[in-house]
Amino acid sequence: MLISPAYAQAAAGAAPGGLASIVSFLPLVLVFIVFYFLMIRPQQKRVRMLQTAVAAVKKNDNVVTAGGIVGKVTRVEDSHVEVEIAPNVRIRVVKATLAEVLTPASAKPAND
């Protein structure tokens, strides 16, 4: 025997022109495309919406910080926001730490 059986089987199963390597790589590409449309793209959209809401924050908006503090905006500066978390208790918060901005019209009363 001049050629070993294992080498002969591998050569017989290979598609001409390297088509087998492309076909074996195709499922990985398809998984990445599905992952992009189901995971990455919606997250980017959410981040853009939050950035525009934080940039447009104004007085009397209700906000939630990344630390979970909920309050009403009393003053807006370039990079800081003053938030009233209780009557006559105000804190300064960095705008980048705002996790959610609620306008007074969209906020619902708790038990009414």
Query: CA 64, CA 58: separation in Å to the nearest integer?
Result: 14
Query: CA 64, CA 68: separation in Å to the nearest integer?
Result: 6
Domains of the chain: 57-102 (2.30.30)
Taking only the tens place, the pLDDT of each residue in 46-97 is 999 999 999 999 999 999 999 999 999 999 999 999 999 999 999 999 999 9
Q: Rounded to 5 degrees, what are φ and ψ at 70? A: -110, 135
Q: Is 57 exposed, middle or buried (0-12, 13-18, 19+ CB in 10 A)?
A: middle
Q: pTM for the complete prediction? A: 0.64
pLDDT at 104 over 60: yes
Q: Which amino acid is at 12?
A: A
